[in-house]
Structure 1
């Protein structure tokens, strides 16, 4: 059979099985887990085109963007101090864990720091490629395993946390309107083109979020309402890609490095719980669930999917992740890369 057809069949079948047995986030975790295991322990040839991952991210971006209204956008300014506190705390701990990883795994400072910061897999790999002393393979493994661990652990933890009930999540009656929809389509395509032109990270998911937040907050119109089957399809597209990302993991990782990565991520997830707890005490009008998913060091897309399924405030959680993403990519990572390069120059590396 064609490798793509095999991959698609396994992805949808595993998602359906996880759904039937009542697993949390079945359409994301089913394809991810099953394809990961089959890819590691069998000789089956798999193939998942990037266009499907892109389509999944765009659909998810639309779903996330639909949660932004004029009121939620206004609240983002009020939440900025809390976003800054959470981001600085998580980035600071990540740097400390990077130093711990360096001692445990005997890797270079650049590799340890760039692999420990939760700034996104592809973005941190690109930065690592520009630093001579960074081991790109190890950075890739650290970022990939972290995302996999967070997606595996965090959604299951949210089952035990109180979210919003169905009545609180029901939006106002949806009425489709062509003018704002066409305006959003034009703006979205322009924003996406501009982001790709300047090599902005995560353009596939960020451009629809920005566009829908802008148009919906200005017009007051709820632009689009995605049916459940389309959201599930987006999750299958993303889950299959995640499962196949960790190619030849067994061959690339030794026991010492594996233990160091696991310890690094468990401590980071545990610290996320602590930060969320402190903010929930500080701001009792917010749910602990919202702060926990905002602090979790996973990808923005995956945490938004978890929020949708667990009754979290998608707009709030996405706002916190956007702030952290911008801070890490535009400020923290370039500074770290610059400092490490200077240290390498002094040591003659």
Structure 2
């Protein structure tokens, strides 16, 4: 209990300080940076229960799901070709960067490819565990550092981009219906149970998003509008977990490995800028910010939080991110794992 209380005080205080000085995404980045530094440079015992991270993801999932109006979902169907173009481009470059990483640090092909594909830390580590030639420690470092870089670099870059003002955002009329919300809760629980049964990742976030999106599309109503303070609590829950998740990274990194990982991610983030620029020119009715956050190789939760803060189209950005997540987990990663296992078998690894 004492480590948890200390962790909660540090996380909340850091968020409040970042908020007071006008820092971007204060309630997410404040706890993350503070706990990362305390964990790295002190012996102070820290603890953050998984249930709070889960609660934060569920609250954020409900908020993201409430952005999916009927019009937004219909627009996503029209955007499917652009989602496919962006996703295939980012995944193809990730594989190319994986091959470059292999040459730079002389790691195995499995380690380099799985570590470079932006499919999420937990998911990529699980895939790496199934391949004997994969170095799980390096895969974990590559995915963790990428998340850290995206969560810190991408939000700060959006400060220089033009988002939408309050008047430009779609006006949503909040209409609470107890029966519909109860139905959304039941559907969300069923989706969560099904995802957990098949081992699908990020069920805590995806289940409420999909449940809210389905009910709001069918009913045409916006079922809930969460206040800022509740979204801030969700960000603290997620930010504290991120900060502690990066434990001991500095102790395991060599200079050469660290430089290769940083270069890999800088090139990937730069490429997402290019892809966003191409799509913004191709589709002038959209803004560059939406495509940049859609292409950024970060998590759905982190990019949605950024979109909420800078006036991005949350439904559009989440739709693109969801499409990439499903493509990576259901298509790209299984293919990469199959090819790598075949190559390992030929070399008798």
In the TM superposition, residue 107 of structure 1 has moved relative to its aligned partner by 0.6
Are 1:188 and 1:211, in contact at CA under 8 Å, matched by a contact in 2? yes
Aligned to 2:314: 314
Aligned to 1:58: 58
Report SS of the residue matched to 1:257: helix
Aligned to 2:190: 190
Aligned to 1:141: 141
Are 1:94 and 1:268, in contact at CA under 8 Å, matched by a contact in 2? yes
Residues 228-260 of structure 1 show CA distances to partners (whole Å, capped at 9, x for unaligned) of 110000000000000111111121111110000
In the TM superposition, residue 170 of structure 1 has moved relative to its aligned partner by 6.3
In the TM superposition, residue 166 of structure 1 has moved relative to its aligned partner by 1.5
Aligned to 1:199: 199
In the TM superposition, residue 275 of structure 1 has moved relative to its aligned partner by 0.3
Give matches, 1:266-345, under 5 Å.
266-345=266-345
Aligned to 1:159: 159
Q: Distance in 1 between matches of 2:39 and 2:100?
A: 31
Aligned to 2:33: 33
List gaps (5 residues or longer) in structure 1: none
Give matches, 1:201-240, under 5 Å.
201-240=201-240
If the length of structure 2 is used for normalisation, what is the TM-score?
0.99
Residue 73 of structure 2 is aligned to residue 48 of structure 1: no
Residues 304-334 of structure 1 show CA distances to partners (whole Å, capped at 9, x for unaligned) of 0000001000000000011100110001000
Q: Distance in 1 between matches of 2:132 and 2:34?
A: 36
In the TM superposition, residue 168 of structure 1 has moved relative to its aligned partner by 2.4
Aligned to 2:21: 21
Structure 2 CA distance for partners of 1:74 and 1:170, relative to 1, 3 Å: closer
Q: Distance in 2 between matches of 1:272 and 1:89?
A: 9
Residues 244-284 of structure 1 show CA distances to partners (whole Å, capped at 9, x for unaligned) of 11111121111110000000000000000000000000001
Q: Distance in 2 between matches of 1:220 and 1:87?
A: 29
Residues 286-313 of structure 1 show CA distances to partners (whole Å, capped at 9, x for unaligned) of 0000000000001111000000001000
Residues 55-107 of structure 1 show CA distances to partners (whole Å, capped at 9, x for unaligned) of 00000000100000111111111000000000010001000100111111111
Are 1:180 and 1:221, in contact at CA under 8 Å, matched by a contact in 2? no
Aligned to 2:92: 92
If the length of structure 1 is used for normalisation, what is the TM-score?
0.99
Aligned to 1:247: 247
In the TM superposition, residue 194 of structure 1 has moved relative to its aligned partner by 1.1
Residues 8-58 of structure 1 show CA distances to partners (whole Å, capped at 9, x for unaligned) of 000000000000000000000000011111111111111001000000000
Report SS of the residue matched to 1:168: coil
Aligned to 1:8: 8
Residue 130 of structure 2 is aligned to residue 130 of structure 1: yes
Are 1:19 and 1:26, in contact at CA under 8 Å, matched by a contact in 2? yes
In the TM superposition, residue 186 of structure 1 has moved relative to its aligned partner by 1.1
Report SS of the residue matched to 2:79: helix
In the TM superposition, residue 172 of structure 1 has moved relative to its aligned partner by 2.9
Aligned to 2:101: 101
Aligned to 1:119: 119
Report SS of the residue matched to 1:167: coil
In the TM superposition, residue 171 of structure 1 has moved relative to its aligned partner by 3.2
Q: Distance in 1 between matches of 2:172 and 2:41?
A: 48
In the TM superposition, residue 167 of structure 1 has moved relative to its aligned partner by 1.9
Report SS of the residue matched to 1:166: coil
